[in-house]
Amino acid sequence: MSVTIDKNLCKGCALCVTACSKNVFEIGTEVNQKGFSVSVAARAGDCVQCGVCEKTCPDLAIRVE
């Protein structure tokens, strides 16, 4: 099981940070090609595969497998 974020699709809106009930995501220090600070699955081990983040991300940047 893994939670991956396509850094170059992410716009740093933080909707995933708010949406995840397990507090998996945080906005990190890395800046992508578009100049956005991107989300990081900092606590991917806490993921329960609910799928909410994939549905929430407006840019389809998150994949849970």
Q: Does 62 bind ligand SF4 (CB under 6 A)?
A: yes
* 22-41 residues near ligand SF4, rule: CB under 6 A: 22, 24, 39
Closest CA to 39 of 2, 63, 6, 1: 6
Q: Find the shortest distance in angstroms from Cβ 12 to ligand SF4.
A: 5
SS3 of 35, please?
coil
- Count of residues that bind ligand SF4 according to CB under 6 A: 27
Q: What Å distances lie between residue 54 and 3, 11, 13, 35, CA to CA?
A: 10, 14, 14, 22
| Contacts to ligand SF4 by CB under 6 A | 3, 5, 10-16, 19-20, 22, 24, 39, 47-53, 56-57, 59, 61-62, 64
